[in-house]
Amino acid sequence: MSKTIRNRAFTGTALALAVSTVLTACGGGDGASSDAKSAKGSPSAQSSATIKDPLVATFDGGLYVLDGESLKLTKTIDLPGFNRVNPAGDDSHVIVSTDAGFRVLDAAEQNLTDITYEGAKPGHVVRHAGKTVLFTDGTAEVNVFNPADLSGGEKPEGRAYTSTEAHHGVAIELSNGELLSTLGTEEKRTGALVLDTNNKEIKRNEKCPGVHGEAAAQGEAVAVGCEDGVLIYKNGEFTKVDAPDDYGRIGNQAGSDASPILLGDYKTDPDAELERPTRISLIDTETAKLRLVDLGTSYSFRSLGRGPHGEALVLGTDGTLHVIDPETGKAEKKIPVVDKWQEPLDWQQARPTLFVRDHTAYVSEPGKRTLHAVDIESGEKITSVTLPKSTNELSGVAAGH
């Protein structure tokens, strides 16, 4: 197992968008809003009005809250440490992973709430079928809630489950109430199990070494990544899709309700300190077939997304957003967005990051302290903004209602 994978197994990774990970136990802070000086005197940082479809970007020492349409910086929030951000599942909130656990940010109102899920190494945040699922790696605790219940300002009542052993895991609740959760220990991850609504185990498959990440496709086919392919759960049954290589790791995936085909990364060198792959994987959950596509450029785990019609989106180190037809694997368009870049060795270091919402792709460019909004269908850059500091992670609320 590579050093990078070992690090992710112990400290956690995630995606976004899919995809995924956890943070180091450093920093902390009370999340107090900063004054205008911390935003270098920018008046935009003083706004306290409710904003629509906000974005949230992390920087070293806090969070930026931005208007989703204008990209105007509306609030700077102090929060020391390495923090991660994911949509909470509604049109107001964002889940912030801190060194002490998950915290809920009301991004529309631009303030951290008192809602917390404490625990070491908060990891993956998954939204599916109207439910949000948090997996805390350090405690193996899974928390499920309806994101609509966050608006009350109190911790939502919801389902809880604790895995047998702590590990860097992920869980997802299906529309019928079944809960799929990964299996593993801190040293080894092996597969997944499925629980009924009473948390009783009904299915298990341990033929998924190094299980990491998840995505859901059209027809509620759910897949988790393995070091030798993917494991699909659909209609009550597990199906293993083998990679064409003995070691063919798919650790980060992006799904769409508009497509039965999942987008995944693809790595083949178990000994690499950091492999910079140029191929992506497209997994058809209806046929259980896997296709590899060479983009001609590398990418990172923060590069994968899906468009409004199921398009597969990959932000390449060539600075281009590749828009791919998942059925054919062909690039429909290539949209220049940022300068050429290289993925840093440390997964916690900043790199251009993709966040997709509806018809807009938001792309950060840390080297220039900029953030761009791109119309996926026209390929045009809608707007760009320069921020006081370089950002790291980028996310936002779910699509407005």
Mean pLDDT of the region 161-173: 97
- pLDDT interval class at 13 (50, 70, 90): very low
What pLDDT, on a 0 to 100 scale, did the predictor assign at position 48? 58
Mean pLDDT of the region 225-251: 98
Q: Is the pLDDT of residue 35 over 70?
A: no
* 330 CB burial (10 A radius; 0-12, 13-18, 19+): exposed
What's CA 353's distance to the chain center, in Å? 11
Using a CB cutoff of 8 Å and minimum separation of 24, what contacts does 347-352 make? 347/4, 347/7, 347/8, 347/13, 347/21, 347/301, 348/23, 348/24, 348/82, 348/392, 349/392, 350/390, 350/391, 350/392, 351/300, 351/302, 352/302, 352/303, 352/315, 352/319
- pLDDT interval class at 21 (50, 70, 90): very low
* Neighbour-count burial for 360-384, b at 16+ CB within 10 Å, e otherwise: bbbbbbbeeebbbbbebeeeeebeb
Q: Is the pLDDT of residue 19 over 60?
A: no
Mean pLDDT of the region 337-358: 97
Q: Is the pLDDT of residue 355 over 60?
A: yes
- Report d(CA 141, CA 135) in Å as an integer: 6
Q: Is the pLDDT of residue 17 over 50?
A: no
What pLDDT, on a 0 to 100 scale, did the predictor assign at position 49? 79
pLDDT tens digits, one per residue of 140-156: 999 999 999 999 889 99
For residue 10, the tally of other CB atoms under 10 A from its CB is 14
- Report d(CA 265, CA 269) in Å as an integer: 13
pLDDT tens digits, one per residue of 287-310: 999 999 999 999 999 999 999 999
Q: What is the mean pLDDT of the chain?
A: 89
Mean pLDDT of the region 345-373: 97
What pLDDT, on a 0 to 100 scale, did the predictor assign at position 18? 35
**How many residues in total does the chain contain?**
401
Q: Is the pLDDT of residue 33 over 50?
A: no
Q: Are 208 and 192 in contact (CB under 8 A)?
A: yes
- Report d(CA 210, CA 120) in Å as an integer: 21
Q: Which residue did the predictor score with more confidence, 242 or 42?
A: 242
- pLDDT interval class at 50 (50, 70, 90): confident
Mean pLDDT of the region 52-76: 97
- pLDDT interval class at 399 (50, 70, 90): confident
The answer to which of 16-30, 228-242, 249-263 has the lowest mean pLDDT is 16-30
Q: Is the pLDDT of residue 106 over 80?
A: yes
Q: Is the pLDDT of residue 235 over 70?
A: yes
pLDDT tens digits, one per residue of 185-230: 999 999 999 999 999 999 999 999 999 999 999 999 999 999 999 9
Q: Which residues contact 300 (CB under 8 A, 6 or more apart)?
A: 317, 343, 351
